[in-house]
Structure 1
Amino acid sequence: MGKLKVLIVDDEYLIRNLLKMRIDWEQQGMQIIGEASNASDALDFVDKHRPDIIFTDIYMPSIDGIEFSTRVLQMYPDIKVVVVTGHDEFEYAHKSIKIGIADFILKPIHASELLRVTEKLKRMIVEERSRDQELEKLKEDLRKNFPYLKEKFLYHWLKGALSKEEIHEKAEYFQVPLGLGIGAFQIAVIEVSSVSAKQTEEQLILLRMECRNQVEAFYGGNAGVIILTDTRDQIVIVSRNEDANLIAECESLTESLTRTNKCVVSIGIGRKYEDIEKVCLGYQEACRALNYQAFVGVNQVICFEDIVERGEQQYRSNPGLLQQLQFYISVGSSERASQALGDIFNVPFSSVSEFRMAAMDVITACQRAAIEQQIEDENYVFNKESLISILTADHLPELIRTLESYILHVSRAIGSRRQTKEGNLISQVKEYLENNLSNPEVGLASTAATFFVSSGHLGRLMKKETGQTFVEYLTNIRMKRAETLLKQTNLKGYEIGVQVGITDPHYFSILFKKNTGRSLNEYRNNR
């Protein structure tokens, strides 16, 4: 702080000179910059030079010291005015304290008294200027933090922490146009996240800042729209445009944000509210709707009204559907298994934990089918990482896609194993029949019993693998053996029949002619 500027006002030259000579003003950190013999000249001087301290006499021509002090303090309340007065004038001068006089000096003027007053004034000015500087600093801080404080107010409003009077008072201070627009308030909450799990926190913050800038640019300073960021770094849109379609706007925003940024976007929208105090309900509904991204997937606009209409109920396992799923997987029917999966998940889940419970039921059905078909050695079926990826899925569409892939793999693995197993069984049956052709007791039932399968199952497998029924296949290989014996031996017809397991000669002759188109004798004679 530089030297304090002092002005002396008195119509007597000797008094002015006495004041100048009584103390060392320089030592006091002060400088007398002027003197005046009357109040009029002094007022002009004050306007031009703005002194810090004025010493003034009470009785002066035209305008007395009290009137002069009143005018000065009205225009410049920070100037310190000291009244110089005699004992007989003191009572009159004392009245000036009401107008803000800093102090008094009694005549005759003593150096000690003058030093006391100047020391006091200097302290007062230093303290006041320090306070002023601190106040200016606080004001500057306020200017810098104004946007933050404004958003803090808006967030408290949306959280329902303010009364109607507080909302209007703070809105006026922060110049928030809550009164503009004639429509009801409607809230949209935008959640932005990165498509990359490797993105740093700083990159995520910058991404969200860029998305907010795009949202603000989208609305282009529309007075009926307020945009802020809440404590969860979600972008909040408060709309009060009667003709606006917030759902359509948010769908356009979703398309724009995901196209220009490497991000995923989910937007929840609450219902409309007229009452300024009930806007907090719209914000709660928008946040709740946003939570339903787990059921509809990302890059979607979710309306709370749709959730209410959909309703909520607690998930319950459906044993019938799960048994169907297990059966379809067991027989390798991936298409029907996918349909059963769709039926299992065609319920209105109320939480992420519920659709994860449903996923556990599906995984259990898959593993039971795998164990039943003896493919426990398949890595993927019991792979820890695969199961974790299913049970930690955050979005229902993603979970269903993953489960479909899982079911398809298990079904194919079972189908492949069954096909291999069935192929091996038929090969063994064919070998068994070749080795036991002479046994007339060999038939479908006895062969099925030999291989511990049902007659129906073996019959279906034979038809599938050979294109013939079991009886057709057995008869065919018996007739081929008979042809070979006719060509290579001189055995009689009934003897050949016994060799191929048909002990009735007449029946053997009929079968042979039916299969070859010739009788036994014709075949042997024409060989």
Structure 2
Amino acid sequence: MDKLKVLIVDDEHLIRNLLRMRIDWEKQGMTIVGEASNAQEALDLVDEWRPDIILTDIYMPFINGIEFSGMVLDKYPDIKIVIVTGHDEFEYAQKSIKLGISDFILKPIRASELLHVTDKLKRTIEQERTREKEFERLKEDLERNFPYLREKFLNQWLSGALSLEEINEKAEYFNIPALGSGASQIAVIEISLASPKQSEEQLILLEMECKNKTEQFFLDDSKVVILSDARNQIVLIAFNRDSDFVGECERLQTNLIDSYNCFVSTGIGRKHGNIQEARLGYQEACHALQYKAFIGKNQVVCFEDVVDNKEQPYRSDSDLLQQLQFYISVGSSERAIQVLHQIFDLSFASVSQFRMAAMDVITECQRAAIEQQIENEHVIDKETLVSILAADNLPELMTILEGYVLQLSTTIHVKNRAKEGNLISQVKDYLETNMGDPELGLASTAAAFFVSPGHLGRLMKKESGQTFVEYLTNIRMKRAEALLKQTDLKGYEVGAKVGVADPHYFSILFKKNIGRSVNEYRNVK
């Protein structure tokens, strides 16, 4: 820290000189930048030097020390002021504490007291400056993260997680005055790669470029707010728009497609007059966007076009959909079909609604297939899509979906069984090769194949009908039996060869598994 600047104010030259000479100011990390014999002169020096500490007498001509202190602190509240006072003035000086006086020094001035006061002030100033630096750092962090925090607020608003009071308060803080107007319409844009050979990194960069392009497109339009949602989709929120928002989205989409080698799909929700209905508008836009599974990419889909305005809006049951994906992912076709029926165990108002439910089901099926790395031909084919689009009644649609869910979950089940069988085969070979290791066990074997001990134990029981320990003991005793037949090794040597170093324990295991002791076995071989 730089040396602290000190100003001495006293109408008596001797007192000023005494304060100057009483202690080693340089050693205290301080320097005296000036002296003044009256308050007016001192005020000019304060403006010139901006001292950190002022030592002032009370009684001075024209303006006394307390009045002077008040004038300084009004203008520079961070300056520390120490009143130099006599015993008979102390009670009067104490009244100045309300002004913000930092400390008092009693006359006659003693070096020890002056050192004590300056030490305390130095620590106080250092702490304040440390806090100021930390505050400035936090302020810089806030400014740097402001766009992220603004986007987080908008996503919370769209998710319905904020009260009306919170929305209005944060809209003002994040300088989104249009949000307070209420009326809004929301569009969601999904960017996807044109080639499956392109990487995830390329997709992220492409999404960033498209978002920048979108911001440029609406640069002069303060009534459109742009953000990215949790799925990295571009979200447009239009407030109180008289212009054709759908037409603008179509022009933007064409612009993006022409500018980049990518697919662009857009879903647009209905207009809503209440800012707390934004969650509904966002959900509508997302549902409309999902219709790309039916009509292809590079399309703008309005929620009003896929749902009859007279009916209640369709709402997904996220819990059931997650259950469906889980059961398909583990190859449990029976459970998956049960959940599928639960999803459709509703009273749909129109064909469009149960088609939207079907779209949700297909989306979860696609996610399960991708998660399990199932080949593209098992994900969804054009014939199935056409059948869903052509179905005009729920029983027909359910038949198609049941077939599709059954096919996909069975495919995954077969793949998982093959994977498990291959794993057990490898484990058996591993045990045959390493049975001589006395440390060989379930935990070490599971670690060698990067699976959990519990999972490996269950697979071993399922595939061999034996627990892991039973299987390992069995193959060790079979190897021991062969060594006793084919070699002249002693019993304890055979035990060591098969990973059972304790001769007594080996004898017990051998007799339990073979039915005879080692010596009995050798005598009859």
Work out whether 1:238 is the aligned partner of 2:245: no
Residues 1:354 and 1:138: Cα distance change in structure 2 (over 3 Å): closer
Determine the structure 1 residue equivalent to 2:226.
227
Give the conservation status (yes or no) of the 8 Å contact 1:295–1:397.
Answer: no
Equivalenced residue count is 340
Could you say which residue in structure 1 is the equivalent of 2:166? 166
CA 194–228 in structure 1, closer or farther in 2 if over 3 Å, else same = same
CA distance in 2, matches of 1:349, 1:65: 81
Which residue does the alignment assign to 1:351? 358
Residue aligned with 2:167, SS? helix
- Distance in 2 of aligned mates of 1:306 and 1:59: 86
Q: Is the alpha carbon distance of 1:41 and 1:266 closer, same or farther for their aligned partners in structure 2, counting shifts above 3 Å?
A: same
Root-mean-square deviation over aligned CA pairs: 2.8
SS in structure 2 of the partner of residue 27 of structure 1: coil
Shift of 1:198: 2.3
2:136 equivalent to 1:136: yes
1:123: which partner in 2? 123
State the match for 1:145 in structure 2.
145
AA of the residue aligned to 2:296: G
CA distance in 1 between counterparts of 2:39 and 2:363 reads 90
C-alpha contact 1:59 1:65 (8 A) present in aligned 2: yes
2:75 is aligned with 1:75: yes
Give the whole-Å Cα distance in 1 for the aligned partners of 2:177 and 2:273.
15
SS of the aligned residue for 1:153 comes to helix
Q: Distance in 2 between matches of 1:131 and 1:157?
A: 34
Cα distance 1:355–1:220, how it changes in 2: closer, same or farther (>3 A)?
A: closer
How far did 1:348 drift? Answer: 3.6
TM superposition shift of 1:179: 5.2
Counterpart of 2:189? 190
Q: Are the structure 2 counterparts of residues 174 and 99 from structure 1 closer, same or farther at C-alpha, using a change threshold of 3 Å?
A: same
C-alpha distance after superposition, 1:79-126 (max 9, x if no partner): 100000011100110011111111000001100000000000000010
Corresponding position of 1:177: 177
**Other-structure match for 2:283:** 284
Task: Please tell me whether the aligned partners of residues 158 and 279 of structure 2 are also in contact (alpha carbons under 8 angstroms).
Answer: yes
2:376 aligned partner: 389
Q: CA deviation at 1:234?
A: 0.6
In the alignment, the residues of structure 1 paired with residue 364 and residue 19 of structure 2 have an alpha-carbon distance, to the nearest angstrom, of 95
Give the letter aligned to residue 200 of structure 1: S
8 Å CA contact retained: 1:180, 1:224: no
**Structure 1 residues 12 and 349: alpha-carbon distance in aligned structure 2, compared to 1, 3 A threshold:** closer
Partner residue in 2 for 1:42:
42
Match of 1:477 in 2: none
For residues 403-425 of structure 1, give each alpha carbon's deviation from its aligned partner in whole angstroms, at most 9, with x where no partner exists. Answer: xxxxxxxxxxxxxxxxxxxxxxx
Please give the alpha-carbon distance, in whole angstroms, between the structure 2 residues aligned to 1:62 and 1:201. 77
Partner of residue 258, structure 1: 257
Rounded Cα–Cα distance in structure 1 between residues aligned with 2:222 and 2:364: 47
Q: Distance in 1 between matches of 2:223 and 2:255?
A: 21
Contact 2:180 2:275 in 1 (8 A): no
CA distance in 1, matches of 2:257, 2:145: 31
Structure 2 distance, partners of 1:157, 1:105, is 58
> For 1:343-367, what per-residue CA distance to the aligned partner results, in whole angstroms no more than 9, with x for missing partners?
xxxx946324766999xxxxxxxxx
2:108 equivalent to 1:108: yes
Instruction: Report if aligned partners of 2:188, 2:285 keep a CA contact under 8 Å in 1.
Output: yes
Find the aligned partners of 2:377 and 2:57 in 1 and give their Cα distance. 93
SS of aligned partner of 1:88: helix
For 1:12 and 1:133, locate their aligned partners in 2 and report how far apart those are by CA, in whole Å: 39
Distance 2:46 2:383 in 1: 80
Residue 4 of structure 2 corresponds to residue 4 of structure 1: yes
Q: CA deviation at 1:128?
A: 0.4
CA contact (8 A) 2:184 2:238 kept: yes
1:173 and 1:356 map into 2 onto residues whose CA distance is 38
Offset from partner CA, 1:46-85 (integer Å, 9 cap, x none):
0011111000001111000000000111111111000000
Counterpart mapping for 1:416-435 below 5 A = none
> d(CA) in 1 for partners of 2:48 and 2:142?
33
Distance 2:34 2:364 in 1: 91
Per-residue deviation, residues 453-508 of structure 1 (Å, max 9, x unmatched): xxxxxxxxxxxxxxxxxxxxxxxxxxxxxxxxxxxxxxxxxxxxxxxxxxxxxxxx
Q: Is the 8 A contact 2:168 2:180 kept in 1?
A: no
AA aligned to 1:391 is H
SS at match of 1:242: coil
Instruction: Give the structure-1-normalised TM-score.
Output: 0.61
The one-letter amino acid paired with 1:284 is Q
Secondary structure of the corresponding residue to residue 101 of structure 2: coil
Name the CA shift for 1:354/1:49 in 2 (closer, same or farther; >3 Å). Answer: closer
Equivalent position of 1:13 in the other structure: 13
Q: What are the Cα deviations for residues 188-231 of structure 1, in whole angstroms up to 9, with x where unaligned?
A: 00010111222222221111111111111222230111111112
1:177 Cα offset (Å): 2.3
Q: In the aligned structure 1, how far is the partner of 2:69 from the partner of 2:362?
A: 82
Contact 1:226/1:239 (CA < 8 Å) preserved in 2? Answer: yes
Instruction: Name the counterpart of 1:208.
Output: 207
Structure 2 distance, partners of 1:52, 1:348, is: 74
Aligned counterparts of 2:264 and 2:72: Cα–Cα separation in 1: 64
Q: 1:356 to 1:169 in 2, by over 3 A?
A: closer
- In 1, Cα distance between the equivalents of 2:304 and 2:278? 16
Checking the alignment, whether the CA contact within 8 Å between 2:157 and 2:167 is kept in structure 1 is yes
Instruction: Give, in angstroms, the shift of residue 388 of structure 1.
Output: 4.9
> Within 5 A, what are the aligned runs for 1:331-480?
348=355, 350-352=357-359, 388-393=375-380, 400=386
What secondary structure does 2:73 align onto?
helix
- What is the identity, as a one-letter code, of the residue corresponding to 1:12? E
In structure 2, the CA distance between the partners of 1:388 and 1:198, relative to structure 1 (3 Å rule), is: closer
Aligned to 1:191, the other structure's residue is in SS state: strand
Distance in 2, matches of 1:350 and 1:170, equals 35
For 1:18 and 1:166, how far apart are their aligned partners in 2?
60
Q: CA deviation at 1:143?
A: 1.2
Letter in 1 for 2:280: L
Distance 1:177 1:241 in 2: 12
Query: Any idea what SS the aligned residue of 1:62 has?
Result: coil
On the 8 A contact 1:269/1:304 being kept in 2, the answer is yes
Residue 296 of structure 1: aligned partner:
295
Residues 215 and 303 of structure 1, relative CA distance in 2, 3 Å threshold? same
| Cα pair 2:184 2:278 within 8 Å, conserved | yes
SS of the equivalent of 1:351 reads: helix
**Does the Cα contact within 8 Å between 2:5 and 2:31 map onto a contact in 1?**
yes
Aligned position for 1:61: 61
Task: Measure the CA separation in 1 of the matches of 2:305 and 2:74.
Answer: 66
User: What is the deviation of 1:246?
Assistant: 1.9
Q: Which amino acid aligns with 1:282?
A: G
- Compared CA separation, residues 63 and 354, structure 1 to 2 (3 A): closer
Return closer, same or farther for 1:105/1:192 CA change in 2, 3 Å cut-off: same
Per-residue deviation at 1:45?
0.4
Distance 1:87-1:388 versus aligned 2 partners, 3 A rule = closer
Q: Tell me if the contact between 2:171 and 2:180 (Cα under 8 Å) persists in the aligned partners.
A: no
